[in-house]
Amino acid sequence: MNIREIIANSESWLRRRRWYDLKDQKIKSIKLFWSLKIGDIYLTVIKVKAANRTERFYYIPLLIEVSTSSHYCEEINKLYICEAEYYPTYYNSFFTAQSQNYTNDLIIKPYSRLEASRIVEPITGSTNPVVKIVDEKGNSSILKSYRKIYKINREFLFLKKLQTKLSNIPKLLASLKHKKWGVFSIITQYVKSLSDGGMPFAKNLIEYLEYSSDLPETLAWKLGEVTARFHNCLIDDTELFFKPEDINYDDILKWKNRIFNRVKFLGLTSSSLETHIKNFHLHLGIKKVQIHQDYHLAQLLYTIDNDFIILDFEGEPGRDYRELLVKEPAVRDLGCMIRSFDYLVYSILSNILNLKDDKIYEVISKNEKILEWRCGVIEAFLMSYLRNIEKEVLGNFVDFKELTILTLPWILEKALYEAIYEKKYRPQYLYIPLNGIQEFTENLHPMFQLIKHYV
């Protein structure tokens, strides 16, 4: 069986891949669009056409084995089809000092010297293949490939832009690109960390509820500072992709419709939310810029130096290609992070108090100490951000109260996004974003108390 026949018979294999996003579609055809054999590896670009005319192009490097015990291989007609990134062969073939350009189609760009590897450790939690590489000298790096093909890869652009400007990101060490299809894989610095960004906040919350009176203001202040530096470094009038643009009425209409469509999908009513949705009009006069889009605590590493490293610049999951490239106000990232604080609170308290879904909202909304913690974290985070952000991002006259009001509709927008995601994939957690939406309908979110305080 040749590689073309293997791809043609790969539908059941594809449907079991986490990165495959047409699982709910009936497939009309699967075709090999481009391939290149290098050693034991088949680099392939496949085209999948669904019955509803949706088309996707995927990059899949494959190893074909006659027998294997790997979890990343599956049998197709007595051959084992393996995703090549989970084997040292892939990394060694393209990124080490011994690698070479095999064809004019591929562009292999080393930014640092990389040594050969014998150990590859899969990293779970990512949609795309991500592995930790340990080379022969004991040095570690991260290999990430992109299955869904986009000719403009926003993560690659972000990493290149920020390399010399921001220390709070992993260094880009190498890339593998195709002249037509764009970025296939990147190698980045492995950053030693204590945990993701949520752990220190979770630890403080538990201690605060049990015996402590110390709010994590220093942590939140540091995160606000890092977030502001991140946004400042993305401003570049000389490069179209990163050039700020004025927000217009079409933008506001699009954001409103996004919320209304999500409310309709969830079977909710929008009347109690319209006051907050109207706040989008206040964005006229500020800029839209490139932002993270999926900014939350799990997208951060918390380091031994009590600092934060920002990860994963692919954009918000579920967006189409055009939506991944659009510019939005920087305060949307703030809204996403505040929703992440909300998520952490509900998750921690649900576990600590062992409460059922229908009881936790009542406890959280009436507990003064929980409200104090949430207000303290959000206030420190936003205040630090405001102190460190440049006027090119927010404008000249944004004060703390105005910043909270500008951020409000984005917290709601993210909660609605989360509710749709959980409804589809993790219904056991649907209560968390639904409670977040209820906090808006009843004006009980901590943001409303902060706004009153700064009147």
pLDDT of residue 253: 96
Which tokens go with 271?
Answer: 């009347």
pLDDT of residue 330: 97
Whether the per-residue pLDDT at 56 is higher than 80: the answer is: yes
Per-residue confidence at 76, pLDDT binned at 50, 70, 90?
confident
Same domain membership, residue 338 and residue 233: yes
Question: 31-45, 59-73, 387-401: which range is least confident on average?
Answer: 59-73
Same domain membership, residue 220 and residue 130: no
Q: Round to whole Å and give the CA distance between 424 and 414.
A: 15
142-173 residue pLDDT tens: 999 999 999 899 999 999 999 999 999 999 99
Same domain membership, residue 136 and residue 110: yes
- Interval 30-37 mean pLDDT: 94
Per-residue confidence at 99, pLDDT binned at 50, 70, 90?
low
Neighbours of 303 (CB within 10 A): 15
* Residue pair 45/34 in contact by the 8 Å Cβ criterion: yes
pLDDT of residue 397: 67
Same domain membership, residue 98 and residue 237: no
Please give the tally of structural domains in the chain.
Answer: 2
pLDDT of residue 231: 98
Same domain membership, residue 225 and residue 145: no
- Interval 85-99 mean pLDDT: 86
Per-residue confidence at 184, pLDDT binned at 50, 70, 90?
very high
Same domain membership, residue 430 and residue 313: yes
pLDDT of residue 40: 87
Per-residue confidence at 74, pLDDT binned at 50, 70, 90?
confident
Final residue of a structural domain among 163, 189, 215: 189
Sort 266 into a burial class: Cβ within 10 Å, 0-12 / 13-18 / 19+. middle
Whether the per-residue pLDDT at 101 is higher than 60: the answer is: no
| Alpha helices by DSSP H, 95-196 | 154-162
What is this structure's pTM? 0.93
pLDDT of residue 174: 95
Final residue of a structural domain among 170, 189, 208: 189
Cα-based torsion angle of the residue sequence 265, 268, 272, 277 in order, rounded to the nearest 10 degrees: -10
Per-residue confidence at 194, pLDDT binned at 50, 70, 90?
very high
Sheet of 308-310: strands edge to edge? 195-196, 300-302, 308-310
- Interval 395-412 mean pLDDT: 90
Same domain membership, residue 183 and residue 156: yes
CATH number for the domain harbouring residue 363:
3.90.1200.10
Final residue of a structural domain among 130, 154, 189: 189
* Residue pair 446/375 in contact by the 8 Å Cβ criterion: yes
Same domain membership, residue 224 and residue 180: no
Per-residue confidence at 305, pLDDT binned at 50, 70, 90?
very high
CA distances in angstroms from 320 to 39, 129, 323, listed in the order given: 35, 20, 5
* Residue pair 451/401 in contact by the 8 Å Cβ criterion: yes
455 or 33, higher pLDDT: 33
pLDDT of residue 335: 98
239 or 74, higher pLDDT: 239
What's the whole-number average pLDDT of the chain?
92
Q: Round to whole Å and give the CA distance between 71 and 394.
A: 48
Neighbours of 335 (CB within 10 A): 22
Same domain membership, residue 170 and residue 205: no
208-240 residue pLDDT tens: 999 999 999 999 999 999 999 999 999 999 999
Long-range contacts of 307-310 (CB under 8 A, 24+ apart): 307/168, 307/222, 307/226, 308/168, 308/197, 308/222, 308/223, 308/226, 309/168, 309/169, 309/170, 309/191, 309/193, 310/168, 310/169, 310/226, 310/230
* Residue pair 273/263 in contact by the 8 Å Cβ criterion: yes
Whether the per-residue pLDDT at 57 is higher than 60: the answer is: yes
Percent of the chain with pLDDT over 90: 73
Percent of the chain with pLDDT over 70: 97
Whether the per-residue pLDDT at 354 is higher than 80: the answer is: no
Whether the per-residue pLDDT at 105 is higher than 90: the answer is: no
pLDDT of residue 9: 87
Q: Concatenated DSSP letters for 412-449?
A: HHHHHHHHHHHHHH-GGGTHHHHHHHHHHHTT-SHHHH
Whether the per-residue pLDDT at 206 is higher than 60: the answer is: yes
112-149 residue pLDDT tens: 889 999 899 999 888 899 999 999 999 999 999 999 99
373-386 residue pLDDT tens: 999 999 999 999 99
Same domain membership, residue 176 and residue 87: yes
CA distances in angstroms from 286 to 52, 247, 402, listed in the order given: 40, 6, 12
97 or 2, higher pLDDT: 2
pLDDT of residue 425: 84
Write out the residue range of the structural domain in which residue 370 sits.
195-453
Which tokens go with 111?
Answer: 């930014």
Same domain membership, residue 415 and residue 332: yes
Which tokens go with 257?
Answer: 């419709």
pLDDT of residue 24: 84
* Residue pair 132/91 in contact by the 8 Å Cβ criterion: no
Same domain membership, residue 393 and residue 302: yes
**Residue 270 CB contacts under 8 Å (≥ 6 apart), including other chains:** 259, 260, 263, 264, 277
- Interval 199-216 mean pLDDT: 94
pLDDT of residue 68: 66
Whether the per-residue pLDDT at 411 is higher than 90: the answer is: yes
pLDDT of residue 69: 63
Sort 71 into a burial class: Cβ within 10 Å, 0-12 / 13-18 / 19+. exposed
